[in-house]
Amino acid sequence: MKKEKLHIVKIGGKIIEDEYRLSEVLDAFSAKEGRKILIHGGGKRASELLQTLGIQPRMINGRRITDAPTLEIVIMVYAGLINKNIVAQLQARSCNAIGLSGADANVILAEKREVKAIDYGFAGDIYKIDNQSINSIITNNFAPVFCAITHDGKGQLLNTNADTVAAEVAKAMAPFYDVYLYYCFEKKGVLTDPLNEDSFLPTLEVKQYQNLKTEGIISEGMIPKLDNAFSVLQHQVREVIIGDIQSLSGTTGTILKN
């Protein structure tokens, strides 16, 4: 039986920080027909608020060290300010959005990351997605908007990487839908020349990716993003696309292939 399409769009911090870009993405997301899910990162706002409150933000390998006061701030900014503003702006575009953390409807369960060389604090590694619950929300014609806050099922909220939330939600929904996962950021796609915005590859196969990594053409910052994105393809997700806002309509973006 042919499955229905489900578009999952992850938007990063640089889009959220830029009012104009965010507005463009929300226009494109609202205009997209059919079933859809939005997943958003955080942007600089949480770090700014932490600094105003005299708490020094700490990052290791691009991951936030989430101590107890930091956790409170990221919950406030991600699940509160950013999530509700995005939902209200989607409603203004007649998109019936519903904002969710992983605790809401018990959709994303995570466990607090074990302390090894680094203590990441209240960082959550996802171990279960309730795809039935997410599906019941989608089939009620709501468009879920996820922030990257999860919970452990025992009352503790946790901070999770938004790219990972997108990957795990995409994998979990693949049994029900033909899932198209868009990692939407400020570039047109995977660039072969970082100084030339138009040098994006329309497609990227995993072998080609390995070669470009070896040749040093794909820059370091992109590697965890692409590793994560390629891993999703192993799990029946139909297509993974990395690109800017226009990639939602297929004008730009790099389609990843096995």
Q: Work out how close the CB of 15 gets to a copy of itself at its nearest, in angstroms, rounded to a whole number.
A: 17
CB closer to a copy of itself, 88 vs 118: 88
Q: 205-222 burial, b for 16+ CB within 10 Å, e for fewer?
A: eeeebeebbeeeebeeeb
Q: Is 31 in the site for a copy of itself (CB under 8 A)?
A: no
Q: Is 108 in the site for a copy of itself (CB under 8 A)?
A: no
Which residues, 32 to 91, sit near a copy of itself by CB under 8 A?
Answer: 52-53, 72, 75-81, 83-85, 87-89, 91
Q: Is 142 in the site for a copy of itself (CB under 8 A)?
A: yes
Q: Is 155 in the site for a copy of itself (CB under 8 A)?
A: yes
Options 28, 55, 65, 137; binder of a copy of itself; rule CB under 8 A: 137
Instruction: Give residues in contact with a copy of itself (CB under 8 A).
Output: 52-53, 72, 75-81, 83-85, 87-89, 91-92, 96-101, 103-106, 136-137, 140, 142, 149, 151, 153-157
